[in-house]
Structure 1
Amino acid sequence: MIEQVRPADWDDWVQAQAARPLVLDVRQPWEVHTASVQPQEFDLLAIPMNEIPARLAELPPGRPIACLCHHGARSQRVALFLQHQGYAAVANIAGGIDAWSRERDPSVPLY
């Protein structure tokens, strides 16, 4: 089962991690350009969903990874894929960038 983290609960999730989290944004480049989160207590890496299998080496297996997309469906699939590849600390940002804007940072544009 993949942990679901609401943007409103993000700070608590980050504090519970043993290492600095990585937010993996799996949206298309045009989406990332349209609206993106600003890394603060986490690092940000954007890899489109369809490129993840070929770019697994870019994802550190020992680090907590929270997957992000527009509404949470693509990121959920990527999180499940990562879990099946042996990544242990994987979460899905429930509601995606849309929920991030509505619950956490209204400066992030809705699209």
Structure 2
Amino acid sequence: MQQVRVTDVQALLASFGPDTRPVILDVREPWEVQTAALAVPGVPTVCIPMREIPQRLAELDAAQPILGLCHHGMRSLQVVAFLEREGHADVYNIAGGIDAWSREVDASVPLY
């Protein structure tokens, strides 16, 4: 299980080659995303609530690096483990989630 601290996300994203396009997988509920969205320039965010991941697995490219995100990092941790079991090799959990992002990286992201 690969974990990445919120303060190390930019460095991880920069480490991917120019032909590699990572994606942030936000597994929070729609109301949570509306409350506090994460936008990283140049990195698309795919919002699929945790409970919908098994049914929507085909929407995720197994060859694409995926950074899982939730509120505090526990749901995304479970989703990243699930993705690894399903054959996704390059997946990371953003430890601390959007809460840590707001506290340590970007205070303009609302806490909830």
Q: TM-score, normalised by structure 2?
A: 0.95
Contact 1:64 1:90 in 2 (8 A): yes
SS, match of residue 14 in structure 1: helix
1:62 equivalent in structure 2: 63
- Asked whether 1:15 is paired with 2:14, we answer yes
Task: Give deviations 1:15-38, integer Å, cap 9, x for gaps.
Answer: 122312100000011100100101
Map 1:14-53 to 2 at 5 A: 14-18=13-17, 19-53=20-54
1:41: Cα distance to partner? 2.9
CA separation in 2, counterparts of 1:8 and 1:109?
17
2:78 equivalent in structure 1: 77
CA separation in 2, counterparts of 1:11 and 1:70?
19
State the 4+ residue runs in structure 1 displaced beyond 6 angstroms: none
CA separation in 2, counterparts of 1:79 and 1:94?
11
Task: Give deviations 1:1-56, integer Å, cap 9, x for gaps.
Answer: x1111111111110122312100000011100100101313110000000000001
Identity of aligned residues (%): 55
Instruction: Could you tell me which runs of 5 or more consecutive residues in structure 2 were left unpaired when the two chains were aligned.
Output: none
Q: TM-score, normalised by structure 1?
A: 0.95
Instruction: Could you tell me which runs of 5 or more consecutive residues in structure 1 were left unpaired when the two chains were aligned.
Output: none
CA separation in 2, counterparts of 1:3 and 1:63?
15
Q: Considering only aligned residues, what root-mean-square deviation do their CA atoms show, in Å? A: 0.8
The number of residues matched between the two structures is: 110
CA separation in 2, counterparts of 1:86 and 1:72?
21
